[in-house]
């Protein structure tokens, strides 16, 4: 960030609260770029007893994950995850339970993951190019690498779902 978004003055890196941050050089402005993480929601979608994983249009063949999207203004994480399932898969859904929260440091994101129960017929939008419908046992055997966060989501889901497997 070379310029302040408030006043247009040059910014410089300065330590603030022990971290180097971009700070506006203009004394009257006081702008600090905090670079806080962006909230993302994720849904492990259950439809008719099977779990849906999807391949994003920008990903290589063979890479699948849960449904994800950004939390929008004036939206709870639960509302966002239901909206994302509707937008990306064309399904109605309800949140079954919270699976966990995950930090994706390389993208400066915090991911809030939920299991959702869905109904309807799948109608993928332009963001997705392929889906898989997996039984719980197939889901546990799926190789999600190189997506270590998805691996952790499924591990946490498994640890809280033992009675259902």
Tokens 């920008």 label which residue? 58
Element (DSSP H or E) covering residue 141: helix 136-141
C-alpha distances (whole Å) from 25 to each of 9, 12, 18, 30, 165 are 7, 7, 18, 8, 58
The pTM for the full model equals 0.88
State the pairing for strand pair 109-119/38-47. parallel
Which pLDDT tens digit goes with each residue over 14-25? 999 999 999 998
Q: Residue 21 and residue 141: Cα distance in Å, rounded?
A: 43
Which pLDDT tens digit goes with each residue over 31-81? 999 999 999 999 999 999 999 999 999 999 999 999 999 999 999 999 999
- Hey, what domains does the chain have and what are their CATH numbers? 1-35 (2.20.70), 38-164 (3.90.79.10)
């Amino acid at each position: 960030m070379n310029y302040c978004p408030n006043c247009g003055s040059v910014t410089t890196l300065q330590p603030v609260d022990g971290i180097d941050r971009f700070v506006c050089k203009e004394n009257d402005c006081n702008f600090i770029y905090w670079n806080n993480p962006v909230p993302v929601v994720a849904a492990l979608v259950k439809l008719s007893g099977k779990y849906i994983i999807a391949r994003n249009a920008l990903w290589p063949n063979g890479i699948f994950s849960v449904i994800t999207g950004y939390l929008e203004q004036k939206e709870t994480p639960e509302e966002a995850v239901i909206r994302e399932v509707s937008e990306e898969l064309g399904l109605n859904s309800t949140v079954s339970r919270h699976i966990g929260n995950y930090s994706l440091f390389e993208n400066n994101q915090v991911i809030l993951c939920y299991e959702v129960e869905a109904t309807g017929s799948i109608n993928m939008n332009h963001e997705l190019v392929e889906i898989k419908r997996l039984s719980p046992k197939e889901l546990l055997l799926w190789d999600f690498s190189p997506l270590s966060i998805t691996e952790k989501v499924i591990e946490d889901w498994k640890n809280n779902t033992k009675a259902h497997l």
